[in-house]
Structure 1
Amino acid sequence: MPTTFLIELLDRIRRPWVPLLGAWLLSGCSSLDYYSQLARGQMALLYARQPVQGLIDDPAQPQQLRQRLTLTQQARTFASVALGLPDNGSYRVYADIQRPFVVWNLFATPEFSLQPETHCFPIAGCVAYRGYYQLGRARGAAALLRQQGLDTWVGGVEAYSTLGWFDDPLLNTMLRWDDDRLAALIFHELAHQRLYVPGDTAFNESFASFVEREGLNQWRTRRGLSSQGDDVSERRDALTRLVLDTRERLTRLYASGLPPERMRQAKAETFERMRRDYRALRDREWDGYNRYDAWVEGPMNNAKLLPFGLYDQWVPAFAALFREVGGDWPAFYQRARELGELPLQARTKALESLVANR
């Protein structure tokens, strides 16, 4: 085991969250098994890391890998110098984990609700999903929840942040993306290290999503490219609006008090309306651009819509906040941190006010 890995691991073990392990051990075998797979997965990830610069300098490495890693280091430096994101060892190391996703997140909701089943963890607080390092484990957990009558969805994740506890690696799962998406992912994950509010997934993900989008626009400008107001960005935003509109219809439906059978039928009709609206959008305005076909045409339920509400809900609020401070990143982060320190109800009210006044 590399010496640097041991030093880093021992440093983290000394931190005060470790006594919480006792609570995990007292919470039952199923919880112990879940946390054990998390620990094993994270340890394997850390052990697989290699310094990026060493790979770039190694002529024995594939040229395409060296080129992609070079781009990541340019984006990584830009993130700290231009965007004010943490300047540490994260994304300056690389790990090939030999699989398409690093974790699979399991989302779940009641059949007639868009409220997620939440799970609480040390450090991260309560979040709207559970992560698994093996797809089979995620699917097995989803099957058990479906037996309880819940809607479930399992989605693969290319990267995640340990919030600065470890030097997060670039992963082979990230390198398959195009240049823009790769840089954006680095900005997004570093944003979580810059600011994270335990227990408020919508705030955290919307904050990181805004930093990702604005950071990408500035990154493209620095490289002499147009800002991200291109067709791909506009199509993504249009799909997001379509899904959020569907969420609103479902929210009204679930509050209607209809008998279960009628509500179940209306739920299916709502999802079919979303598919029809998507096809019209694709065929009439997107010239047949079909990147989202598999997602839209596949099985649909409440849980599958959750990431849209969580990752996008407050992006307009953070955009308005960024304009208020004249695009000054340090001032933006300070104001965002002040929002995060508010009690949840006051924080939500402040975010709503930002959206209303944008």
Structure 2
Amino acid sequence: MPRLCGGPAKITAMRSLLLAGCLCLGLTGCTTAGYYWQLARGQMQLLSSREPIAGIVGDSNRDPKLRGRLSQLQQARRFASEYLHLPDNGSYTLYADLKRDYVVWNVFATPEFSLAAVESCFPIAGCLAYRGYFSRAGAEAQAAKLKSKGYEVEVGGVPAYSTLGWFDDPVINTMMRWSDAHLIGTLFHELAHQRLYVKNDTAFNESFASFVEEQGRRDYLALNEVPGIDESAELRREQRNHQFVELILATREQLQALYAQPLEADAMRQAKQAVFDDLRARYRVLRDETWGGYAGYDDWFSEPLNNARLLPFGLYDQWVPAFAALWREQNRDWAAFYEAAARLGALSPNERQARLEALAAESAT
């Protein structure tokens, strides 16, 4: 993920349940009453946990570290609306402590020899490449069901999400694990989803929000003095992340080419394993030589690799270079950029794909 008017919105319990069940998160398609109910219950818990950030910041009895970070976020929230032209509403003026590590868990699934996501379709949000749960147990149960059908699966915890403006989304305790710079970027990412959302195109939506996150953070740090943030360290972190993602996307291309070959299943499995072995080898070179031993991605490689584990990278990062090119085309003007992105989103899927590919090629030159 992933990417977040006063006090909490006054919404009746029935309206909350209906909206949460039908609209909640844009996380996934709902196919059973049980799935609707867990969405509604989880959203209700989140809504009922909210409190105004201004009240926390002004309360000397609250944790000083939390107050300081939330005060900094208040400044970033104003910047988001005034400078980045992101929605000016009640989202991220509230805070919620859910007493757990993640707000939702997403389940990704693919066939054994394909990188095509097993999609879930949602009445408002459209078809998405994952299914979300407010409990890890629910996500693991869905993953087991998909695995029993022969799919490869990945369960990933999500610290932040957006309801696309249907509710006043809060800053959540699950987001506070990050550095201040990452937290500020996530705020921009989640608000970007409210600014523009294209039905049935997860890669477009996440890449758009990821670009706004990265460029918005750069602009914020360039124009604001933020204590405790080392801009050079953040730049190195960003560069490492891009190099890691490029490595994953290159592996995806290798697998796409492999899966297009007319091989028997056993031969395909052996070749697939060789691709994953090569990925691990190339990562070690990147870690030990390019990054000077930085091992921040070792945990990711500690788990078995499969198609579903690679899936989120293509969704969240695929078109970031294309949006960077579009932003430059609009002379780095945020309002003009959003208008251009909206026109791009209004194209037919094939036309949009072609335009994104052209922009990505332009960005690479």
Q: Which amino acid aligns with 1:49?
A: R
Equivalent position of 1:345 in the other structure? 350
Q: Is the aligned partner of 1:316 residue 2:321?
A: yes
Q: Is the aligned partner of 1:140 residue 2:138?
A: no
Equivalent residues in 2 for 1:123-138, closer than 5 Å? 123-138=124-139
Q: Judging changes above 3 Å, is the alpha-carbon distance between structure 1 residues 61 and 20 closer, same or farther for their aligned structure 2 residues?
A: closer
Equivalent position of 1:207 in the other structure? 208
Q: Which amino acid aligns with 2:151?
A: L
Cα shift at 1:357: 2.6
Q: Judging changes above 3 Å, is the alpha-carbon distance between structure 1 residues 219 and 11 closer, same or farther for their aligned structure 2 residues?
A: farther
Equivalent residues in 2 for 1:134-283, closer than 5 Å? 134-224=135-225, 226=231, 230-283=235-288
Q: Is the aligned partner of 1:304 residue 2:317?
A: no
Runs of 4+, deviation exceeding 4 Å: 9-15, 17-21, 224-229
Report the secondary structure of 1:273's partner residue. helix
TM-score of the two chains, using structure 1 as the length reference: 0.93
Q: Is the aligned partner of 1:57 residue 2:58?
A: yes
Distance 1:9 1:18 in 2: 12
Q: Which amino acid aligns with 1:277?
A: R
Cα shift at 1:13: 6.2
Cα shift at 1:71: 1.3
Q: Judging changes above 3 Å, is the alpha-carbon distance between structure 1 residues 244 and 265 closer, same or farther for their aligned structure 2 residues?
A: same
Report the secondary structure of 2:10's partner residue. helix
Q: Is the aligned partner of 1:34 residue 2:39?
A: no
User: Which of 329, 336, 339 pairs up with 1:334?
Assistant: 339
Q: Judging changes above 3 Å, is the alpha-carbon distance between structure 1 residues 213 and 144 closer, same or farther for their aligned structure 2 residues?
A: same
Equivalent position of 2:26 in the other structure? none
Distance 2:17 2:135 in 1: 28
Cα shift at 1:344: 0.8
Equivalent position of 2:88 in the other structure? 87
Q: CA RMSD in A?
A: 2.3
> Percent identity at matched positions?
53
Q: Is the aligned partner of 1:106 residue 2:111?
A: no
Report the secondary structure of 1:8's partner residue. coil
Distance 1:229 1:56 in 2: 26
Distance 1:243 1:148 in 2: 26
Alignment deviations for residues 314-343 of structure 1 (CA, whole Å, 9 cap, x no partner): 111110000001000110000100111111
Cα shift at 1:216: 0.6
Report the secondary structure of 1:356's partner residue. helix
Q: Is the aligned partner of 1:75 residue 2:76?
A: yes
Distance 1:199 1:228 in 2: 36
Q: Is the aligned partner of 1:8 residue 2:14?
A: no
Contiguous gaps of at least 5 residues in structure 1 = 22-26
Q: Judging changes above 3 Å, is the alpha-carbon distance between structure 1 residues 282 and 18 closer, same or farther for their aligned structure 2 residues?
A: closer
Cα shift at 1:10: 7.3
Cα shift at 1:223: 2.3
Q: Judging changes above 3 Å, is the alpha-carbon distance between structure 1 residues 91 and 42 closer, same or farther for their aligned structure 2 residues?
A: same
Alignment deviations for residues 273-327 of structure 1 (CA, whole Å, 9 cap, x no partner): 1001000111111111000001023211000101110011111111000000100
Q: Judging changes above 3 Å, is the alpha-carbon distance between structure 1 residues 351 and 6 closer, same or farther for their aligned structure 2 residues?
A: closer
Contact 1:218 1:227 in 2 (8 A): no
Cα shift at 1:196: 0.3
Distance 2:13 2:280 in 1: 51
Cα shift at 1:14: 12
Distance 1:66 1:152 in 2: 39
Q: Judging changes above 3 Å, is the alpha-carbon distance between structure 1 residues 115 and 285 closer, same or farther for their aligned structure 2 residues?
A: same
Distance 2:337 2:232 in 1: 20
Contact 1:109 1:303 in 2 (8 A): yes
Contiguous gaps of at least 5 residues in structure 2 = 1-6, 24-28
Contact 2:249 2:313 in 1 (8 A): yes
Cα shift at 1:355: 1.6
Contact 1:217 1:228 in 2 (8 A): no
Alignment deviations for residues 81-108 of structure 1 (CA, whole Å, 9 cap, x no partner): 1100001000000000000000000000
Cα shift at 1:72: 1.1
Q: Is the aligned partner of 1:356 residue 2:361?
A: yes
Report the secondary structure of 1:237's partner residue. helix
Equivalent position of 1:43 in the other structure? 44
Report the secondary structure of 1:357's partner residue. helix
Contact 1:220 1:227 in 2 (8 A): no
